[in-house]
Each structure stands twice: as C-alpha cells, then as structure tokens.
A and B are shown apart, each in its own frame.
Chain A
Amino acid sequence: QSALTQPASVSGSLGQSITISCTGTSSDVGGYNYVSWYQQYPGKAPKLIIYEVSNRPSGVSNRFSGSKSGNTASLTISGLRAEDEADYYCCSYIASNTLDVVFGGGTKLTVL
C-alpha cells in the first residue's frame, strides 16, 4: 500500500484560505467516500477534523471543509488563524486484502 500524496508544506496569511490536496488512486480516494483529515500539533495526538470526505465532527470549526474530485481529495481552511499552524494528514479507505486504511504523507501548514 502506497501512502497518499500530499504537498510537504503549504503556507498562507492570516485571514486567507488555503487548500491541501491528497492524491490517490481509484482503489482508495477515488473509489470510496471514506476520506478523512487530521490535524496534529507537535507532541500531541492527531485530531479528526473531516470524515467521509466532507463531514465535520461535532465541535470542529466550519472554517474546515473537505471535498473530492476523482482521485484527489482536498481540505480547505478558510479565514486562517495562527492556531491553524499544524501538520495535516489525509486518510482513505483502500480496497485491499490486508489493511484497509492508508495515510497521506502529511502537510505542514505555516500561517504567515
């Protein structure tokens, strides 16, 4: 199982919007609506911020939104705040006879 492809880093200014992409194949991202996104601060456990492509768990800001087109999923953060600076990981269900979940490589978001 290959990791999903994310940009290593993205940056944006306070108040702006950014989008992080997550590219897979028709066997993972493109084949199922089971893409999730996680936010991780240094030294902390990851936090689920998007599940099933575009759903937010209770308590997650509506500044976070998810979408998918073909084999690429995207996380958009609008109205960037300093506290959004973190690492972000996508994850997808994958058609496999072994483990059926795979992460992306992670994206470091820097808020300027």
Chain B
Amino acid sequence: EVQLVQSGAEVKKPGESLKISCKGSGYSFTNYWLGWVRQMPGKGLEWMGIVYPGDSRTRYSPSFQGQVTISVDKSIRTAYLQWSSLKASDTAIYYCARVEYGAAEYWGQGTLVTIPS
C-alpha cells in the first residue's frame, strides 16, 4: 500500500526556521516525483515545487522560488520542505503528493503550520 506520512503540526514565531517532512512507503521511492502543495486558510491548492528522489532534481513554482527549499533523503525515503525565516503569511496546510504526468494520486495527510502574527 502506497503511503505518504507527514510530520506533525507546527506553531512557530515569525523569523524562525522550519523543516517539515514526508515519508514514503509501499512503492519504489526513487522512481516518482514528490510535490509539495500549499493551502492557505480558506483558499485553493497551489503547487510549490517537486523533487525527484532518484537524483534530487528539484523544480519550483516561480511564486515559491527562493522562498522555500525542497530536498530529499532517499536513504530514509523522506522528502522535506524548509523555510529559513517564517512569515505570518506562511500559515497554511502543506501537503506532499506523489506526482506522475501532472497527476497526484497519493497524498500525505497534511501538515498545519501556524505562524501567529
């Protein structure tokens, strides 16, 4: 069974750093792109970027380039989404998803990140 399990909810202060994770199991981890999707409160879905665990290639949406870092450790089948300096506007639910030809069939449960202003 394919599973993507994300790390738990976080409450951080503006300016702090954060790294959240997404662990894959039940499939060949290195053969599928993994993407990160943001959903701000009451808003729609936004692709942030994707990573290919086989060779760590990353691609970012222009809106998120330079704002976050996506990485992967294939030895532990885990992808990461990282911020170096959080802002209140980073408050959102972040999902990871396995992507193939633009379609995401498998999703993590989501990680709520809260940055009180």
Residues of A within 8 A of B (CB): 1, 3, 32, 34-36, 38, 40, 45-48, 51-52, 57, 87, 89, 91-93, 98-106
Given A98-B65, A99-B60, A36 contacting B103 (CB threshold 8 A): yes
Query: Please, could you name 26 A-B residue pairs with CB atoms under 8 Å apart, sorted by A?
Result: A1-B61, A3-B44, A3-B46, A34-B101, A35-B102, A36-B102, A36-B104, A45-B109, A46-B45, A46-B104, A47-B107, A48-B103, A48-B105, A51-B101, A52-B101, A87-B44, A98-B61, A98-B62, A99-B47, A99-B60, A99-B61, A100-B102, A101-B50, A103-B45, A103-B46, A104-B44
Contact B105 A103 (CB under 8 A): no
Residue of A at shortest CB range from B49?
A: A99
Q: How far is the CA of A92 from the CA of B45 in the complex (A)?
A: 13
Q: Is the interface of B mostly helix, strand, loop or mixed?
A: strand
